[in-house]
Amino acid sequence: KNEVEQSPQNLTAQEGEFITINCSYSVGISALHWLQQHPGGGIVSLFMLSSGKKKHGRLIATINIQEKHSSLHITASHPRDSAVYICAVKRGGTSYGKLTFGQGTILTVHP
């Protein structure tokens, strides 16, 4: 079983829909990342969370440390949000930035 599991693996939405991508992990962590990978391949960090909630534009990320779960929400989705969204965790107790990655969620937003 992977230490970081994302669901769903594939997600199709219509423009304007509210989208949720989930990430569950089985190890103790000190922080969690959400990353975005566009069809061109580049990877961009969206959020870094250790507790609570963060918002940037139409994107909201939440984390529940006790339940070992995080969600990424996209409000008013747009075709340009189509990308792979990747959850990654930094294990607690490590003194360097090694991350463990989920397999990604492929999001397609249709006009």
Partner 1 sequence: NAGVTQTPKFQVLKTGQSMTLQCAQDMNHNSMYWYRQDPGMGLRLIYYSASEGTTDKGEVPNGYNVSRLNKREFSLRLESAAPSQTSVYFCASSGLAGVYNEQFFGPGTRLTVL
Where does this chain bind partner 1 (CB under 8 A)? 2, 4, 30-31, 33, 35, 41-45, 48, 50, 86, 88, 90, 95-99, 101-104
Q: How far is the CB of 28 from partner 1 (least distance, A)?
A: 14
Q: How far is the CB of 17 from partner 1 (least distance, A)?
A: 26
> Which tokens hold the place of 69?
């779960």
Q: Could you tell me if residue 79 is left (phi over 0), alpha (psi between -120 and 50 degrees) or otherwise beta?
A: alpha
Instruction: Specify the residue, 14 or 103, whose C-beta has the smaller distance to partner 1.
Output: 103
Task: Reply yes or no: is the peptide bond before residue 8 cis, omega within 30 of 0.
Answer: yes
Instruction: Specify the residue, 2 or 75, whose C-beta has the smaller distance to partner 1.
Output: 2
What's the rounded Cα separation, in Å, for the pair 78 and 109? 6
Instruction: Specify the residue, 13 or 23, whose C-beta has the smaller distance to partner 1.
Output: 23
What's the rounded Cα separation, in Å, for the pair 103 and 5? 7
Tally of CB atoms within 10 A around 51: 11
Instruction: Specify the residue, 13 or 47, whose C-beta has the smaller distance to partner 1.
Output: 47
Q: How far is the CB of 74 from partner 1 (least distance, A)?
A: 19
